[in-house]
Structures are given as structure tokens and as C-alpha cells.
Amino acid sequence: MITVAHTADVEPATLSAARALLYDVFDDMDEHDWEHSLGGVHAVAWDDDVLVGHAAVVQRRLLHGGRALRAGYIEGVGVRADHRRQGLAAAMMDALERVVRNAYDLGALGATDEAVPFYTGRGWKLWEGPASALTPDGIRRTPDEDGAIYVLPGAVPLDLAGELTCDWRGGDVW
């Protein structure tokens, strides 16, 4: 079963279980990463009453082609190892991509290598151009993220070879 709710409507115990799952799934998980998943819509996968998957979409601004696009940014996607390849991430993304399509100009995310076939299989496109962040000191390139950013285009035309700049936040900016 998949449940979908805004952070404000998710039980504290469910948020704690989701955070614990993500610490299990990602070796390099930190509190910034968890904070990046908050304030938007969560999709949670359950096996009976045990939380076995989590994904979230939050709003960010992405600068591209002289516009500040409203992006649905996907965060905290993880499925417990013993529940993978059962369609749980696909079901969670079905719910979140609906939010992206109906509420945002585009979807965006930073993908792990492992998840690339999952996202490309769902129509997400590799951002081919240079990535950067709007830092307190101005726009700075984020070369380490080149090749890891994927977008789900919406109605706004995108030049995938152009520059894409994300808004500022603590921790990993993409």
C-alpha cells in the first residue's frame, strides 16, 4: 500500500520511520538530506504496518533560460533492500510525478548511479548542460553534479544542454 500526504499530515512516528529507513539505505545520509525531504508531499510504501519505502517531492526554484522555474524536486527515494523490484518505488513515483505534472513547471532530482535505469525508464531526462547553484556569494558551478541531474519536462520548454541553477540550501545543493 502507498500513502501520500504533506509533511504536516504525516504522523511523527511515520516520519521517524522514514528517516530511519533512509539512514539504512544510504551510507552517506545526513541530517541535511533528511531536512531536504521535508515541507512537501511524501509517498510512503507499507508492508502491513511496516514502512518499507519513502519518496518525497518538495518545491524548489531552478533558474534556466532567464526564468525562475517552479520545480518539483524529488528527494529521499529509498526502498528497503528486501522489498526491491516489486514495483514499490514505481508506485511512489506515480503519485509524486502526478504532483509534479499538476503543480510544477518541471520535475528534477539528483540520481544515484543505481537508480538511473529506474528514472530513465520513467521518462526522466539527463541534464546535459552545466549545473550550478545560486549561493550567498553568487552563482557557482557544481561540477560534481554534472551527469547526475535528471529532469521530468513539463509544459515549459527546456534546453537540456543549457545551464541549470538551483536555489541555495545547506548540505548537498542538488
Tell me which residues touch ligand COA (CB under 6 A): 25, 77-79, 84-90, 111-112, 114-115, 117-118, 121
By beta-carbon proximity to ligand COA, the closer residue of 28 and 137 is 28
Instruction: Give start and end residues of each alpha helix (H) in the chain.
Output: 12-25, 31-36, 88-103, 116-120
Shortest Å, Cβ 50 to ligand COA? 15
Question: Cα separations (Å) of 108 from 9, 79, 153?
Answer: 24, 19, 9
Closest to 60 in 3D by CA, of 128, 6, 107, 119: 107
By beta-carbon proximity to ligand COA, the closer residue of 70 and 83 is 83
Shortest Å, Cβ 157 to ligand COA? 25
Rounded CA-CA distance 13/32 in Å is: 19
Shortest Å, Cβ 84 to ligand COA? 3
Shortest Å, Cβ 108 to ligand COA? 11
CB 70 within 8 A of CB 108: no
By beta-carbon proximity to ligand COA, the closer residue of 24 and 159 is 24
By beta-carbon proximity to ligand COA, the closer residue of 49 and 114 is 114
